[in-house]
């Protein structure tokens, strides 16, 4: 997985590669999908949701340019896999999940695996998570029709937001960065995520 799916596609940060090699992805997928846990694609995790492809997890994490001391918000906990990867790289992770059952299951697994710096919240992450804002980085794991304003508002100075924006089907991976009161935006590759729900998601 590390060589052919991630490093070969240009993600070379040794810290990130080490973490992707250490987090047990098979623990985050349902038992009957386990033999595909390290394959090059997303997998179903129930409730019509998916755990992202390993490369996309690595790419979005890489785009946040994390050094270690950051506090990070993830929207769309799902299985908890992306949160576990983030938790190994930064000081503190807050992750918000819309579907209570998925959130509770992820929280249990993250606790079992010893991730003490991850806080799982149940709620509408399209509104961010104001109680712990601002964040040095925000990662959204579901496709938004437009960048949700509350997420931009909850970025710290210099903070970065990575999210898929676009219609159902395919979206563009966007990277936003706060510079004072203005925000710069760049586009990365085309991706396919499940829809973001909630107030700033798809109705
Ligand atoms: N990061 C996850 C993949 C998540 S799939 C992993 O590593 O497994 C996208 C998730 O976003 C789904 O679990 C879905 O329920 C959740 N989601 C969709 N809209 C949301 C919202 N408004 N707030 C929080 N979570 C949301």
Domain boundaries, the chain: 2-191
Phi/psi region, residue 158 (left: phi>0; alpha: psi -120 to 50; beta: rest), is: left
All residues at 6 or more sequence positions from 12 whose CB lies less than 8 Å from its CB, including other chains: none
**pLDDT truncated to tens, each residue of the chain (203 aa)?**
999 999 999 999 999 999 999 999 999 999 999 999 999 999 999 999 999 999 999 999 999 999 999 999 999 999 999 999 999 999 999 999 999 999 999 999 999 999 999 999 999 999 999 999 999 999 999 999 999 999 999 999 999 999 999 988 899 999 999 999 999 999 999 999 999 999 999 98
- Domain 2-191 in CATH 3.40.50.150? The answer is yes
**What's residue 169's pLDDT?**
86
**What's residue 1's pLDDT?**
97
Nearest ligand 1 atom to the CA of 199 is 22
Angle at 50 between CA 8 and CA 149, to 5 degrees: 90
Q: What are the distances in angstroms from CA 86 to CA 64, 73, 149, 179?
A: 10, 9, 23, 23
> Residue 151 C-alpha to ligand 1 middle, in angstroms?
15
> Residue 196 C-alpha to ligand 1 middle, in angstroms?
7
> Residue 102 C-alpha to ligand 1 middle, in angstroms?
9
Q: Which residues are bridge partners to 175 per DSSP?
A: 162, 186
Q: Is 98 in the pocket of ligand 1 (CB under 6 A)?
A: yes
- For 61, counting Cβ atoms within 10 Å of its Cβ (0-12 exposed, 13-18 middle, 19+ buried), the class is buried
Q: What's the pTM value of the predicted model, to 2 decimals? A: 0.98
Of the residues 39, 52, 79, 126, only one is catalytic, namely 52
135-140 vs 71-75, strand pairing mode: parallel
**What's residue 61's pLDDT?**
98
Q: Is 106 in the pocket of ligand 1 (CB under 6 A)?
A: no
Q: Is 52 in the pocket of ligand 1 (CB under 6 A)?
A: yes
**What's residue 37's pLDDT?**
98
157 three-state secondary structure: strand
Q: Is 154 in the pocket of ligand 1 (CB under 6 A)?
A: no
Is 39 one of the catalytic residues? no
């Amino acid at each position: 997985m590390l060589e052919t799916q991630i490093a070969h596609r240009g993600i070379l940060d040794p810290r990130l590669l080490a973490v992707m090699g250490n987090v047990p992805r098979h623990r985050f997928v349902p038992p009957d999908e386990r033999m595909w846990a390290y394959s090059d694609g997303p997998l179903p995790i129930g409730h019509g949701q998916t755990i992202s492809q390993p490369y996309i997890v690595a790419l979005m994490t890489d785009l946040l340019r994390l050094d270690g001391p950051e506090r990070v918000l993830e929207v769309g906990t799902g299985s908890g896999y992306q949160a576990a990867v983030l938790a190994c790289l930064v000081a503190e992770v807050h992750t918000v999940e819309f579907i209570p059952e998925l959130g509770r299951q992820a929280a249990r697994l993250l606790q079992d695996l010893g991730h003490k710096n991850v806080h799982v919240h149940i709620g509408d992450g399209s509104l961010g998570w104001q109680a712990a804002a601002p964040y040095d980085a925000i990662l959204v794991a579901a496709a938004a029709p437009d960048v949700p304003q509350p997420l931009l508002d909850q970025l710290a100075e210099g903070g970065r937001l990575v999210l898929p924006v676009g219609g159902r089907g395919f979206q563009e991976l966007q990277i936003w960065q706060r510079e004072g009161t203005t925000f710069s935006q760049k586009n990365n590759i085309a991706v396919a995520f499940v829809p973001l729900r909630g107030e700033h998601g798809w109705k």
